[in-house]
Structures are given as structure tokens and as C-alpha cells.
Amino acid sequence: MAVAVYPGSFDPVTLGHQDIIERSSKIMDRVIVGVLKNNSKSPLFSVQERVNMLKSVTGHLPNIEILAFDGLLVDFVRNCQADVIVRGLRAITDFEYELQMSQTNRVISPGIDTIFLTTNLKYSYLSSSIVKEIAMYQGDISAFVAPEIAVKVLRRAADVKNKRPS
Ligand code: PNS
């Protein structure tokens, strides 16, 4: 049985992430989406909120599980008894960072490989950071995230903006 871990911050989950999850669910027997807890990027959503959002957009996929993780990705992969890490590659700009991560992970844990799925062209420009930036100005994010995610992101962005000193 082939088990993959698809790790990330997912702050918030985008249609690009959903595309990678759907496609890997067809290739692998089981896919565990690992949501990073100790994120130095000071996320807009708590890890539990990010897990819940991922659950709501992947509910129709029976072989997907959403789990939070802390610490090293390779330890999480080992604990899950997974075979590989899945990452999406959007453009050449992703390549250097992804190569560094996958090579480092393989050095510290030689049994663990990373496979890359090239992102659907429709989403090759898309990132959670761009979605958050647009949301901070209450812009239209409906082309980038699922409708239920858009509602949550716009609401949280408005809350954050209201609390900031002007
Ligand atoms: O969605 P992101 O932010 O690009 O995901 C990055 C992630 C979570 C895959 C990466 O930061 C990670 O694996 N963090 C866990 C800590 C770790 O194992 N670091 C060493 C990787 S070289």
C-alpha cells in the first residue's frame, strides 16, 4: 500500500493545494495532509482552523486524512509509516527551495523520497500569501479558494485589519 504525506502550512488551503490533493489521491492508496503547527510565518489561522478547513474541502475523498504536525517533517513521515512526501511545483521559482528541502530530507532520513506534481497551469501563479494579501483589502478571492474558505479568509482578514493600529 503506497502512503504519501503532503505537507504544508495551508494558511489557507487554496484551489492549487486542492488540485494536488485530488491528483495525489488518485495515484496513492492513502494521502496524509500534514499541517505544520510551529509555523514561523505567524499564520492567519490556527493549526486547528487550518485542519478543519482542509477537512471541509476534502470530505469527498475517502483516502485523505488531515493531521497537524510539529517538528521535523521526516519524523512525521516516519510516524505515519508513509513511503513518500508529495509537493507541488508551480514554477521554476519553487524549484530551488523544493530541491533544497527534498535533498536535506533525504540526507537526514535516507529512506524518504519526495515526489513532485507540477501544478495545474490554472493555479501556477497562486499562493496562500497572495490570497491573504488580496483579502486584507477585501478583494475578490473566489477564483483562488473554495467558497467556504473565502468567507472565512475575508472575515479573518477584516478582523486582523480592524485590530491593527492605523
Ligand atoms: O506550505 P509551505 O510553508 O511551503 O510548507 C513548508 C513545509 C511545512 C513543508 C516545511 O517548512 C517543513 O517541512 N517544515 C517542518 C520542519 C522541517 O522538517 N524542516 C526541514 C525541512 S528541510
Measured in angstroms, how far is the CA atom of residue 8 from the centroid of ligand 1? 6
pTM equals 0.96
Residue-range definition of the domain harbouring residue 60: 3-120
Q: Is 36 among the domain residues?
A: yes
The CATH number of residue 71's host domain is 3.40.50.620
* Tens digits of residue pLDDT in 87-109: 999 988 899 999 999 999 999 99
- pLDDT interval class at 39 (50, 70, 90): low
Which atom of ligand 1 lies nearest, measured to the CA of 10?
A: 1
Query: Could you tell me the sign of the dihedral formed by the alpha carbons of 85, 44, 132, 14, in that order?
Result: positive
Measured in angstroms, how far is the CA atom of residue 73 from the centroid of ligand 1? 7
Number of structural domains the chain divides into: 1
- Please state whether the peptide bond connecting residue 43 to the residue before it is cis, i.e. omega within 30 degrees of 0: no
Catalytic sites, residue numbers: 17, 41, 90, 128
